[in-house]
Structure 1
Amino acid sequence: MTDEPTPVPFTLAAAGMTDVGLKRTENQDRILMHDIVYAVADGMGGHEAGEVASQLAVETMQEICTFANKTSVRKLPTAAEVQRQVQLADDRIREALEARGGTTLCALLQIKAPDQGRDNVTAPITAVPPWTSSFAVKVNTDVISKVTPEMLAEHRESTTPSTAPLPVLNEEIPNLLLVNVGDSRGYRLRDGALQQLTRDHSAVQEMVDAGQITEAEARNHPHRNLITRALGAGAASHPDLTVLQPRVGDRYLLCSDGLSGELTEDILQTILVNFKDRTEAVRVLTGAALEAGGRDNIAVIVIDVLAAESPLPEAAEN
């Protein structure tokens, strides 16, 4: 019989900020920080459209906090309920903007705990998408609009690995759920080592997975801003969901590509390891992205998993 690790009560503490960057005139990135939901949304589109899309995304996710706190005993969402809320955000953005804008979303949430979380990252797609060979040298849109739902369905049916069923729920101690649509990213620093937990839904990521280009080439590829999945735009918007095992001492980073596109994973790891104070880590990360070029809006949230404070013992009756 294998001994399962005992779940330990935890609490989350976070710091975050956004910055317009050095090349853009508008900041279309939005962040959400709550003890139940932390989220980064990177808007895209024409005049005000990206800003509206990212704002709608975080406002819709914030409703989870409202629902959870309606009763005296906090009611955390399930993974299925979170997925439905992401779909609601997609519907609201499409209705409001009529495909004129969209947004990425990367969020970390406390949910009703499965008996066992998954710490593995989704397996990459290995087949070459049929539409990548037809990309123009210059692309003026952030979302691949010419990829139809039928094209996506046919390609992903033959390449996407099956998803394991979610474990049985345990009501006692919450777990963490990582949600991703687009190319905003989620990382985890554990025991001093940084791991990217999300997989970009982007043209260059599919090229990397297919062996067409290297990770280094992807950083400056002309299609680096072209994403294949977004809320409110394009043919696909369903999120990747990963249930994670929280461990006291872990540090999570949620960010838009304005950060991850400027800084290598080694630099991200060095900053997250050396700057223990969350607020200082966020400031240094943002400053480093600006020094590296600041080509896009920057959104950063750093989340620490801390031990929950033990309740004070009740006074003994005389």
Structure 2
Amino acid sequence: MYLHYSAISDVGRVRRENQDSGYAGPWLLTVCDGVGGAVRGDLASSTAVQALRKLDQQPDEDLLGQVAGAVHRADDRIAELVEEDPALNGTSTTATVVLFDGTRFGVGHIGDSRAYLYRRGEMRQLTHDHTFVQSLIDEGRITEEQARTHPHRNLILKALDGIRHEEPDLFEFPAEVGDRVFVCSDGACGTLTDARMADILGSGSPDFAAVELVRASLEAGSTDNVTCIVAEVAEEAPPEDLQPLLVGAAADLPRRMPLSGAVGGLFRGHRSGDTGEIPPVPSDVPPGAFAGDPIDPEAMRYAPRPPGRYTWLRRLMVAAFLLGLAWVVLAAGWSWSQQQFYVGEVDGNVVIFRGIDADLPGLSLSHAYEVSDVSLDRLSDIDAETVREGIDADDLDDARSTVDNYAAIQDVEAE
């Protein structure tokens, strides 16, 4: 079996930048929705998609292993970006990945982008949101309808951020001819009802459905970026001119809905609706602002899990380890220094010192070990100055040999 696919991404009515990224190819469908507002969610999503798109080749038997590995590599790549530029700390992205091997689909998911399956006239949600409101739904505290207008509907609990290394949800299911797989950012599924999405998915070609899902989301009042990927399972190979599609922030030239109201002049809006691009945001509207909402939900979207219990104990153990390590290093350094010797001067006499000829503030690294009866007054000015500056020795025997040489010189000078 083969995939016939289409992908569309639109910046939407409110936001100036598209933080969604998407990719559709013969083997791979993926949507990543960047989180972070000012800390470049667009960079996180595009980085993740660029890493994930390497999956777009015929998979081996370990379908889920390949998906999991690609998600972890995307997370590692985001970690590298944050390490290179600490100003990006806090950026993250959702990731919904669907890998096709010709007979089955493998899915990896983290965050609140979604994957749906439309089969034989019925649609079901494949992925489970990692969000605060989804946890309330799971507990029976609110309904799905209430979740659409909940004040904290934007808070996600898991994302790829290069720091927490969350594990994605992984599962697979068999493919059937006629199946339609729909992958989208929350700009679509957070606005459209399941019935409306099913109505559109059951109409026209994948390209028509993708365009209409974006248009319907914006028409329904979505204030977020909207990215939709639709793929249909078919027995016939797709047209040869169907190339992989890269959309949103990850695309060099993002695919946008043309002002003419059609894609390639072939597809028109659902039931004659307009598919024109939404006009730009007025200059006096701050980025991401909603009417009556002074805070950009995108900037507050990622709600990391609270710190684990006994955080103070872990910090104390780390501090104790570091102090112990420092003590070991200092002890090793002191032990080495006390095996060193040099020749110097104390009160006009030649003396063998144990330690190194250096001092730290408030700490002497050497002490007089053997005092000889060789007086600097009985040596030449050059020899006396050499002793005062300190003479390194390989070991104690070498230091004693140096003193004996000066003693012999002293005796010659005395005769």
Q: Same fold by TM (over 0.5)?
A: yes
TM-superposition CA deviations, 1:89-143 (whole Å, max 9, x none): 11111231353211111121024xxxxxxxxxxxxxxxxxxxxxxxxxxxxxxxx
Gaps of 5+ in 1: 1-9, 112-172, 310-318
After alignment, is 226-235 or 86-95 more displaced? 226-235
Give the structure 2 partner of residue 254 of structure 1.
183
How does the TM-score come out when normalised to structure 2?
0.53
Give the structure 2 partner of residue 240 of structure 1.
169
Give the structure 2 partner of residue 109 of structure 1.
99
Give the structure 2 partner of residue 220 of structure 1.
149
Equivalent-residue separation in structure 2 for 1:81 and 1:271 (angstroms) = 32
Give the structure 1 partner of residue 116 of structure 2.
187
Instruction: Specify the SS of the correspondent of 1:47.
Output: helix
Asked whether the equivalents of residues 106 and 178 of structure 1 are also in contact (C-alpha less than 8 Å), the reply is: yes
Instruction: Specify the SS of the correspondent of 2:130.
Output: coil
Equivalent-residue separation in structure 2 for 1:22 and 1:233 (angstroms) = 30
Shift of 1:75: 5.3
Give the structure 2 partner of residue 24 of structure 1.
15
Equivalent-residue separation in structure 1 for 2:91 and 2:61 (angstroms) = 31
Whether 2:209 is the aligned partner of 1:281: answer: yes
Structure 1 or 2, whichever has the larger Rg, is 2
Shift of 1:238: 1.3
How does the TM-score come out when normalised to structure 1?
0.69
TM-superposition CA deviations, 1:227-247 (whole Å, max 9, x none): 011011674621111111000
Counting only pairs closer than 5 Å after superposition, residues 77-88 of structure 1 correspond to structure 2 as 78-88=63-73
Whether 2:233 is the aligned partner of 1:305: answer: yes
Identity of aligned residues (%): 38
Asked whether the equivalents of residues 21 and 33 of structure 2 are also in contact (C-alpha less than 8 Å), the reply is: yes
Asked whether the equivalents of residues 39 and 90 of structure 2 are also in contact (C-alpha less than 8 Å), the reply is: no
The structure-2 alpha-carbon separation of the partners of 1:187 and 1:250, relative to structure 1 and needing over 3 Å to count, comes to same
Asked whether the equivalents of residues 12 and 306 of structure 1 are also in contact (C-alpha less than 8 Å), the reply is: yes
More helix by share: 2
Correspondence for 1:39 among 27, 30, 33: 30
Equivalent-residue separation in structure 1 for 2:52 and 2:204 (angstroms) = 28
* Corresponding letter in the other structure for 1:307: E
Asked whether the equivalents of residues 77 and 162 of structure 2 are also in contact (C-alpha less than 8 Å), the reply is: no
* Corresponding letter in the other structure for 2:93: T
Give the structure 1 partner of residue 76 of structure 2.
91
Asked whether the equivalents of residues 46 and 100 of structure 1 are also in contact (C-alpha less than 8 Å), the reply is: no
Equivalent-residue separation in structure 2 for 1:279 and 1:175 (angstroms) = 22
* Corresponding letter in the other structure for 1:232: D
Equivalent-residue separation in structure 1 for 2:173 and 2:192 (angstroms) = 25
Equivalent-residue separation in structure 2 for 1:179 and 1:95 (angstroms) = 22
Equivalent-residue separation in structure 1 for 2:116 and 2:142 (angstroms) = 23
Asked whether the equivalents of residues 63 and 106 of structure 2 are also in contact (C-alpha less than 8 Å), the reply is: no
Equivalent-residue separation in structure 1 for 2:143 and 2:37 (angstroms) = 31
Give the structure 2 partner of residue 139 of structure 1.
none
TM-superposition CA deviations, 1:197-225 (whole Å, max 9, x none): 11000000000000111111100111111
Shift of 1:193: 0.6
Correspondence for 2:220 among 280, 283, 292: 292
Equivalent-residue separation in structure 1 for 2:39 and 2:6 (angstroms) = 26
Give the structure 1 partner of residue 52 of structure 2.
61
TM-superposition CA deviations, 1:149-188 (whole Å, max 9, x none): xxxxxxxxxxxxxxxxxxxxxxxx6421112110000000
Shift of 1:294: 2.3
Equivalent-residue separation in structure 2 for 1:96 and 1:205 (angstroms) = 30
Asked whether the equivalents of residues 64 and 108 of structure 2 are also in contact (C-alpha less than 8 Å), the reply is: no
Asked whether the equivalents of residues 76 and 110 of structure 1 are also in contact (C-alpha less than 8 Å), the reply is: no
Shift of 1:47: 2.9
Instruction: Specify the SS of the correspondent of 1:281.
Output: helix
Length, aligned pairs only: 232
The structure-2 alpha-carbon separation of the partners of 1:209 and 1:229, relative to structure 1 and needing over 3 Å to count, comes to same
Instruction: Specify the SS of the correspondent of 2:140.
Output: coil
Instruction: Specify the SS of the correspondent of 1:27.
Output: coil
The structure-2 alpha-carbon separation of the partners of 1:76 and 1:43, relative to structure 1 and needing over 3 Å to count, comes to farther
Shift of 1:33: 1.1
After alignment, is 74-83 or 256-265 more displaced? 74-83
Instruction: Specify the SS of the correspondent of 1:276.
Output: coil
Equivalent-residue separation in structure 1 for 2:26 and 2:62 (angstroms) = 13
Equivalent-residue separation in structure 2 for 1:277 and 1:52 (angstroms) = 31
Asked whether the equivalents of residues 24 and 296 of structure 1 are also in contact (C-alpha less than 8 Å), the reply is: yes
Structure with the larger RCO, 1 or 2 (CA within 8 Å, 6+ apart): 1
* Corresponding letter in the other structure for 1:56: T
